[in-house]
Chain A
Amino acid sequence: MNARSSPFARALVRDGPTRALVLVLAALLLVGGAVYNQFFSPTYLLQQLQSGAFLGIVAIGAMIVILTGHIDLSVPWTLSAAATFSTAFTALAGGAPWGEFGVLVGLAIGAGIGLVNGIGVAYLRIPSMIWTLAVNIVVLGICVFYAGLYASGSRPSAMMSVLGGGRSFGVIPNALLVWLVLSGGVVLLMRRTLMGRYLYAVGTREGAAYLSGIETRRVIAGAFVISGLCSATAGMLLAGYANQAYQNMGDPYLLPGIAAVVLGGTSILGGRGSYAGTVAGVLLITLITSMLSVMQIAEAYKQIAYGAVILAMVGYYSRRSATPG
């Protein structure tokens, strides 16, 4: 194998979770194409990518945090809070051009919540599962309290609408382009920067990373800030797509986001995983969801299928890694 070939090509060829996922994806596409003649139409596939982009952006943040061996359960309300307050800021401007700065408000909220998560987990050493959970409840409380005090607008700014729901050249969803740009950014971060290496080092064994001179606490806090920014971005794009911010808009993204990362072969214990796998995981979840909707399967069976797929894939990975050679 040529070491200079692109990371994605190598991941495709190398035996492992990503290859297994790509094979399953291909099989699903073939089955879908055989059953429905509309399946391979660009309209349908682009529509899937449009809805998959939001999950993809959430999964970027989830993956960065999981690589350090932690987990971010504050995704739902970070996403909703960014959408709520950025749209409220836009409404405050009442159509004036400075309303576009609502996006910055949303990003600041995402980074702020991420920082609180990071301080609790990295500096106060509180288990991430419980700390981010508590932060999520507090952010929920802030949003509910705010909604009770002020009847604010929830319409997205022009930029959010264009990026979230618009299409370039009339075909390519802009949300997909945002996901691609962020994907490029995260691949650069993981492969070309010290921070990227540190993420893996901290996730593998934090004590050893610390003794090697890595400021491990700063790395963990940074990972949570990135996750907060990703959730906030997804939230504002989603508000642009749905043309409003609404309560509980983040709920459908927490578990699928984690599932996509885990399906992509990233270890929930941290230290191992590839971004190509996460992308494949996002595509798989998006495709399964949409195929089950096309087949008009009841919600109950969707949930069962969803759980069964995760168990089957992750069980397959753990069997492979358990067998020597």
Chain B
Amino acid sequence: MSIALHRNARMLAARALLIVLLAGFLAIHPRGVSTGVLTAWSNQGVALAFVAVGQTIVVLSRGIDLSIGAIMALTNCTASVLVQGSPAEVAFGVAAVILCGAACGAANGLIVVKARIQPIVATLATGAVFSGLALLVQPTPGGSVDETLSDLLTGDIAGVPASLLLLAGLVGLVWGPVRAARLGRGMLAVGSAEGAAYMSGLPIDRAKIAAYVLAGVFAAFGGLFLGFQTLSGDPAIGGSYTLNSVAAVVLGGTSLMGGAGSVAGTIAGALILRTIGSLMFFAGVNPMAQPLLEGAVLLAAVALGAIRLLKIRNRLEMFR
């Protein structure tokens, strides 16, 4: 019990913080606790949560995907062109958008594994390529997305926000089986000790490539959901989502050194980031002071990582 508590301390802290923030948000919201308020809150956070889940999978395997926001922008723009028309066309469009995200992720994975370029440099470069492609698909914010599907996914089902169900469902359906399989264990093993994973005969190359592909797929979910939310595509959204996804991963307790962390923590982290914004809006904080407060909260949360220094007995452990 105490081991489980110790290992999940950061993740549990993230959940506790989220519950406190959400309670505060609902308490000061002029309309109080209602399905509408909860649905709006959830819709605001889910796109970032999808992208951050993708980032977590890559970070767990000791990589980083700085192109994830660009993939999201590209898939968002693709969605604004393809996800419309007859139901068959919409279904085809959704599949095409997800495939597009997977292809971007596969390109990242192959470049990192086969060309042996450091993930941070490789994804920086592919990110530029993907944003260029997004601009080709949709030079300015615009396009349109099927409204029936949008209403369905951004509304509520029996009082529960549909977007939350969608998030839980897709994470469970896509990441769940992978996590339980050899491939998923390979990802975590590569993240915690690549040499040992290699010696144990785990498929490390395949695990790394698969992690980037999954990141691309989740970025595509994020891009699609943003499309349903805004009913359009915007090629310029990438940058902020990349940075916020890394922030959500860290807030959720996943180590940037790989091998330890959880997708559930990241989802809490992403929702925390979005809740802080809404909380300040309804608390009547001067809008000009909002970025400063958001930054200060993020800085404080990140600085909590320094607590581990107190436990260090041998100073050499510091350098790992």
Contact (Cβ within 8 A) B132 A255: no
In chain A, positions 294-325 with a C-beta closer than 8 Å to chain B are 298-308, 310-311, 314-315, 318-319, 322
- The CA-CA distance from A310 to B81 in the complex, in Å, is 30
Q: Is A32 an interface residue (CB 8 A)?
A: no
Interface residues on A, range: 35 or more
Whether, in the assembled complex, A153 has its beta carbon less than 8 Å from a beta carbon of chain B, the answer is no
**B contact residues around A255 at 8 Å (CB):** 124, 128
Which residue among B127, B128, B288, B289 has the maximum number of chain A CB atoms within 10 Å of its CB? Answer: B128
Q: Using an 8 Å CB-CB cutoff, how does the interface string of B46-78 with A read, 1 for contact, 0 for none?
A: 000000000000000000100000000000000
B288 near A130: Cβ-Cβ < 8 Å: no
> A210 interface residue, CB < 8 Å from B?
yes
A interface, by DSSP: helix, strand, loop or mixed? helix
The reply to whether the CB of A196 lies closer than 8 angstroms to some CB of chain B is no
Query: Number of contacts between A and B (CB, 8 Å)?
Result: 148
B139: A residues at CB distance < 8 A:
300
Q: Which residues of chain B have C-beta atoms less than 8 A from A139's C-beta?
A: 295
The tally of residues in B whose CB lies under 8 Å from a CB in A reads 52
Interface string of B106-142 (1 = CB under 8 A from A): 0000010001111011101111110111111001000
User: Is there a chain B Cβ closer than 8 Å to A126's Cβ?
Assistant: yes
State which residues 242-299 of B face A: CB under 8 Å: 243, 246-247, 250, 256-257, 286-296, 298-299
Q: Is A158 located at the chain interface by the 8 A CB criterion?
A: no
A95 in the interface (beta carbon within 8 A): no
Does A207 lie at the interface of the complex (its beta carbon under 8 Å from any beta carbon of B)? yes
Q: Please state if B135 and A145 are interface contacts (CB–CB under 8 Å).
A: no
C-alpha gap A299/B132 in the complex (Å): 7
Inter-chain contact B135/A318, CB cutoff 8 Å: no
Q: Is the CB of A145 within 8 A of B288?
A: yes
| Interface presence of B173 (CB below 8 A) | no
Bound: A298/B308 CA distance, A = 49
B157 CB–A CB distance under 8 Å: no
Distance between Cα atoms of A107 and B299 in the complex (Å): 23
B116 touches A322 (CB 8 A): yes
Binding site for B on A (CB under 8 A): 71, 120, 124-127, 129-131, 133-135, 137-142, 144-145, 147-149, 206-207, 210-211, 216, 255, 258-259, 262, 268-269, 298-308, 310-311, 314-315, 318-319, 322
12 contacts between A and B (CB under 8 A): A126-B305, A129-B256, A137-B295, A144-B292, A145-B288, A149-B288, A207-B320, A210-B316, A299-B135, A306-B132, A310-B121, A318-B117
New contact pairs (6) apart from A126-B302, A130-B302, A299-B132, CB-CB < 8 Å: A125-B309, A131-B302, A207-B316, A211-B316, A304-B128, A310-B124
The 8 closest A-B pairs by CB, nearest first: A141-B292, A148-B288, A303-B132, A307-B128, A300-B135, A304-B132, A137-B295, A138-B295
